[in-house]
Each structure stands twice: as C-alpha cells, then as structure tokens.
Amino acid sequence: MEVVIAPAGELARLAADAVQELLVARPGAVLGLATGSSPLAVYDELARRHAEEGLSFARARAFMLDEYVGLPAAHPERYRTVIEKEFAARVDIAPGAVQGPDGLAADLPAACAAYEAAITDAGGVDLQLLGIGTDGHIAFNEPGSSLASRTRIKTLTKQTREDNARFFGGSVEDVPRHCLTQGLATVMSARHLVLLASGRAKAEAVHQLVEGPISAMWPATIMQMHPHATVLVDDAAASRLQLADYYRQTYAGKPDWQGL
C-alpha cells in the first residue's frame, strides 16, 4: 500500500493523474466510480482535462460502487443521478457505458448477482476510486461485513445515515436504510485501488486502514492485502498515522517514472 500525504487541493489532481495515465495506455479501460464527497473534486478535474486538454473517455466503461434501495429514478441523491451529473454528462463517455446496481429492482438479490456478473464479463475494474467512512466502511460495506463479500443488499448503520444526512437536507430520516453495494471481495478484484480522504473526521479510519489490524470491524483494512492500493490523504486525515513522516519521505523520494 502506498500512502501519499499531500495538501487537500492536490489529492484530486493525483487521482486524476492515475486515471489519465490509465486511459492513455488503455483507452478502453474499466473505471470504478464512487460517490460521496471525496471523489467530487476528482470528477471536476477529469471534466476539466476533458474540456481543456482532450482527455477522452469515449472507449471507457465504468461501474458504480453502490446505490440506495428505493429512491425514485429522478431523486437527486440517487447515485446513478449523481454520477450522471458529476461525471458522465461532463465527459464523452458513451451512453450506457456507466452501469450501476439497480436499487429499484423487483428482485434485489437477482439484481446483485447480475451486477456482479456484469463486472466479471467486462473483464473486471482496472482502477477503482474509493472514499472511506468515519467508521471505516468502503462502498457500503459497514463494520462487520464479510471480507469475502460480493455485491449484495446491506443495511446502513446509524453512523453512515447520520454522515449522509447532509445530502438529504440534514434529515437522517430521509436517508434510505438499505443499499446495494459491491462487496469487499468485489472491490478487491479491481487492479488498482485509489482511496481519497481528507479532514480530521477521517483520521481514525485512515489510521486503522493503513496501520491497524485487518478486521471486519474496520472494513477498509482489507486493502492492506491488495497488491496495488494507493491512499491519498491530506494532513488532517493523516494526523493519526504513526508513520506519517516515513510516508512523506517515501513519496518525496519516489522516481518520477514510477507513477501512483
């Protein structure tokens, strides 16, 4: 796992660099898209590079991490709506090239199985963007999730619903109680994981992710087992890291050709 500590404003640029490097090498790459606050600046930067520098997504495909269950198709916080607004509508990715789990399906277990199969049929995800919850969840794999889990239905914790209430006008009651989410094993199948975290509220989760024992109580810790995981954090999110100085020294001395 590579840990990069940088100013908050640099994190999106670094993540976008990784996406751009991938697309230049493999224009038909498969991207993994996250929602929440952490990736928004990344989508802004990718949209800027598309508009100003010609970065193309025309041959790329993308899969979303998760989706709320039961939100109407036109709801502004439905994750498919968010990804369309924040990313797909701002670049040249083909219509239908972004897929997400169907939170409105009549048969939710079948929808989960179909989504898992679709990722496999696409050859898997090349680069997966991730955020992390204050309780250490990635995607919607809440504490206690099986480290071998695949796409499935999950019940959201009180903490996650409280954290996400800001997207629903501050009302916890308006945050759905259930979701469909890629499982931890599904996330781990991606060839490169790029996780972003900023702010002191994420410091304990980042500490556990990077330096804690691998445990279902902190689901993100499974990333320690991934052969190519990059963790991008600002100083506040890195404030609990015991080896923060080492991570800074390692990144400062990294050869330019190595990339993320």
What is the Cα–Cα distance from 247 to 49, expressed in whole angstroms?
28
- Measuring CA to CA, which residue among 193, 248, 208 is closest to residue 6? 248
Active site annotation includes 66: yes
List C-alpha distances in Å: 253 to 23, 66, 86, 210, 250. 26, 36, 34, 20, 5
What is the Cα–Cα distance from 101 to 181, expressed in whole angstroms?
7
Residue carrying the six token digits 């928004």 = 40
| List 116, 135, 163, 234, catalytic entry | 135
| List 45, 142, 163, 234, catalytic entry | 142
Q: In what order do the strands lie in the sheet with 66-68?
A: 66-68, 178-181, 152-155
What is the Cα–Cα distance from 22 to 26, expressed in whole angstroms?
6
| List 45, 66, 67, 126, catalytic entry | 66
∠ CA 101-106-111, nearest 5°, is 30
| List 137, 192, 207, 234, catalytic entry | 137
What is the Cα–Cα distance from 153 to 222, expressed in whole angstroms?
20
Active site annotation includes 142: yes
Task: Write out the catalytic residue numbers.
Answer: 66, 135, 137, 142
